[in-house]
Amino acid sequence: MILQIADVNYAEKGQLIHGASAEINVYNPKVEPSQFTNAQIWINGGPNENPNYIMAGWTDRNTGDWWLAIKDDKTLVGYWPKSLFSYLADGANSVSWGGLAKADSNGVSPPMGSGLFSKDYYSCFNHWMKIVNGDYNVTNPLAHPTRTSIRIRMDSANCFDIRYHDYALTSGTNIQFGGPGGAICT
């Protein structure tokens, strides 16, 4: 399985993360049956050899369960019980915002986001990126990150890219990402 990732990762040594959020715009790029592509939030916990991941959500302070909600009307979609996780039961180590594309068996990757690179006006974006910190407060540590707390990953610059933007009044801390995919991505 060939995966390409374009994301921004936030982790602060010794700080637990109990959730993350962003406004994510979604497109419907052409994807073959053996490919997939998405725009998402990854919440990560545990060692690199055996991590736990959730693709979006936050923990309930009383139960420790992880929840997913739709922001506009605060509709609760569902939850993952903390008992499912060996590491995320106590909180996450890091969170990433961005996109992922999985190539087919011939190595051809689908588009990511809108299929346009980050410099283009209609590229995919995540706006208002925030976390729920160890004290269960919603914060924006990305507005003034330390050099060691932010990592930008772009697996295949020929096919996908990402841009990280500091805080803006109209969109908060945000990223733009995407690309056309293709056969030259690996």
Looking at the domain assignment, is residue 186 inside a domain? no
pLDDT at 2: 83
Looking at the domain assignment, is residue 185 inside a domain? no
Looking at the domain assignment, is residue 58 inside a domain? yes
Which three-class secondary structure state does DSSP give residue 56? Answer: coil
**Strand pairing category for 52-54 and 19-24:** unpaired
Is the pLDDT at 84 greater than 90? The verdict is no
Identify the residue whose tokens are 């990757």.
109
pLDDT at 64: 80
Looking at the domain assignment, is residue 16 inside a domain? yes
The secondary structure element, H or E, covering residue 58 is strand 57-59
Looking at the domain assignment, is residue 184 inside a domain? no
Is the pLDDT at 49 greater than 60? The verdict is yes
Specify the number of domains making up the chain: 1
Domain hosting 166: range is 3-178
- Across residues 32-58, what is the average pLDDT? 84
pLDDT tens-digit profile of 55-83?
A: 765 667 788 877 777 766 567 777 788 88
Looking at the domain assignment, is residue 150 inside a domain? yes
How high is the mean pLDDT of the chain? 86
- Across residues 1-13, what is the average pLDDT? 88
Looking at the domain assignment, is residue 142 inside a domain? yes
- Across residues 36-60, what is the average pLDDT? 82
Is the pLDDT at 116 greater than 90? The verdict is yes
Q: Residue 176 is encoded by which pair of tokens? A: 């733009």
Looking at the domain assignment, is residue 13 inside a domain? yes
Tell which phi-psi region holds residue 74, choosing left (phi > 0), alpha (psi between -120 and 50) or beta.
Answer: left
